Amino acid sequence: MTKTVYLLLADGQYLEGKGFGADLPREGVIGEVVFTTGMTGYLETITDPSYYGQIVVQTFPLIGNYGVIPQDFESDKPYLSAYIVREWCQSPSNFRCQGDLDTFFKNQNIPAVYDIDTRKLTKDIRSQGVMNGLLTYDKLWEDKEAEKEALEKIRAYHITNAVFETTRTMKTDYPVENASYHVGIWDFGEKSNIVRELMQRGCHVTAIRPDASAQEIKAMDLDGLMLSNGPGDPNDNPSIIAELKKVIEDKDLPIFGICLGHQLMALAHGAKVTKLKYGHHGANQPVKDLQQDKIFMSSQNHNYAVDASTLPQGCHQTFINLNDGSNEGVSYDGCRQATVQFHPEASAGPLDCESLFDRFIDVVDRYKAEKGE
């Protein structure tokens, strides 16, 4: 029997839907409610570690029509707290399909909601900003004391320890035959397609745990270093930033950062990172390359952005978001370091910015040649 689910938002309003996937726990599920605008790529969204601690709303009205395809996953499991759609497809069809969303969410213990007014919910988040919310079976408005207590918990909710909840505890190698380069990826919640993009370009990839020291990373004698994407507020990672400051003292080592990696690099250089009103989530975000004066469509998933006005001397804004003018990329003088806020690995999303991996490999190749290897 389908259960009625209520979403109580931090502003006190309720929305009603129906449950599928895993049952809610007795206390319900609290999370940061965000929306994503992709028409496809829902599997990559569901398994993206960057959504840790969030209740994800799909703005496209029908989700699940090609079912569950494990080859498209971006990590080993979902990290989101819950999932909201207008309608989910109960009879998916695809030659790679291995199941439906309802069964997948049940197996992964992820609650989901459908038949909810996602259009209204999205408009409210756009106008008021990202809000926390509670999914519950209880009619809390019938008990004002219980409602008051629930609202206090909702408003107090903050995503914590996100990086360390979504990352590895041991170094992992991804070898390729006749590798041309040895590239490390500092794992802050990495997506699998970043590793695949590097391997396709002849890189033996070593994934490094988030609490690795600068000394450990330097001892690996890498040809290049990737700073991965990841969840949460970058300002909550002072220990990582402290080690990153030591790593970037090596001005010769090629470093390329994506999403959270971009933000951590900016913080390590002395800039500030602030929270956006409702973030950028989806595979249709336009960005402008200020160096080439070209516009690209990009895939994005972040609630925070580098404050370009705080970039110190020698740091240059390279990309901007055309929807709100926020920062989307930075380059750094006197070194081989560059970062972007969006996801050039494009999973899911357009392939417009995939060439940034080629740019990085070109820098890695020159660095390796200078080392005489």
Catalytic residue among 204, 262, 281, 343: 343
Mean pLDDT of 12-32: 98
Residues 225 and 287 in one domain: yes
Q: What are phi and psi of 15, to 5 degrees?
A: -130, 145
Statement: residue 65 has pLDDT above 70: yes
Catalytic residue (choose from 32, 328, 345, 353): 345
Q: Is 345 a catalytic residue?
A: yes
Counted domains in the chain: 2
Q: Are 78 and 90 in the same domain?
A: yes
Q: Render pLDDT for 265-300 as a digit per residue (tens, 0 to 9).
A: 999 999 999 999 999 998 889 999 999 999 999 999
Spell out the residues 6+ positions from residue 85 whose beta carbon is closer than 8 angstroms to its own. Answer: 57, 58, 61, 62, 63, 64, 112, 113, 114, 116, 118
Backbone φ and ψ of 303, nearest 5°: -110, -5
**CATH of residue 29:** 3.50.30.20
Closest CA to 300 of 274, 319, 318, 314: 319
Q: Are 141 and 210 in the same domain?
A: no
**339/205 same-domain check:** yes
- The number of residues in the chain equals 373
Q: Of 270, 245, 80, whose CA–CA distance to 159 is shortest?
A: 80
Rounded Cα–Cα distance for residues 252 and 158 (Å): 38
User: Within this chain, do residues 218 and 188 fall inside the same structural domain, yes or no?
Assistant: yes
Which range marks the domain in which residue 148 is found? 4-159
Shared domain for 206 and 236, answered yes or no, is yes
- Are 155 and 215 members of one domain? no
- Rounded to 5 degrees, φ, ψ at 190 are -60, 145
Residues 120 and 174 in one domain: no
197 and 147 assigned to the same domain: no
Together in a domain, 186 and 268: yes
Look over the chain and give the mean of its residue pLDDT values, rounded to a whole number.
96
Q: Are residues 191 and 339 in the same domain?
A: yes
- Considering all CA atoms of the chain, what is the largest pairwise distance in Å, rounded to the nearest integer? 74
DSSP 278-296: EEEEEEEEEEEETTTTEEE
Confidence of residue 347 (pLDDT cuts 50, 70, 90): low
CATH of the domain at 308: 3.40.50.880
CB count within 10 Å of CB 43 equals 23
Euclidean distance between CA atoms 112 and 88, whole angstroms = 10
The model's pLDDT over 185-199, given as tens digits with 9 standing for 90+, comes to 999 999 999 999 999
Q: Note whether 169 and 117 are same-domain residues.
A: no
Start-to-end CA distance of the chain, whole Å, equals: 65
Q: Is the pLDDT of residue 372 over 80?
A: no
Is 182 annotated in the active site? no
Answer yes or no: are the C-beta atoms of 33 and 83 closer than 8 Å.
Answer: no
Domain boundary among 159, 188, 218: 159
Alpha-carbon distance values, 373 to 121, 150, 175, 369 (Å)? 56, 61, 18, 6
- Whether the CB-CB separation of 195 and 174 falls below 8 Å is answered with yes
Looking at 138, 159, 180, the residue that finishes a domain is: 159
Active-site residue, from 259, 269, 280, 281: 259
Can you read off the two tokens belonging to residue 371? 């080392």
What whole-number percentage of the chain has pLDDT above 90? 94
Give the residue from 105, 126, 159 where a domain finishes. Answer: 159
The pLDDT of residue 373 is 67
By the 8 A CB rule, do 53 and 29 touch? Answer: no
The answer to whether 97 is a known catalytic residue is: no
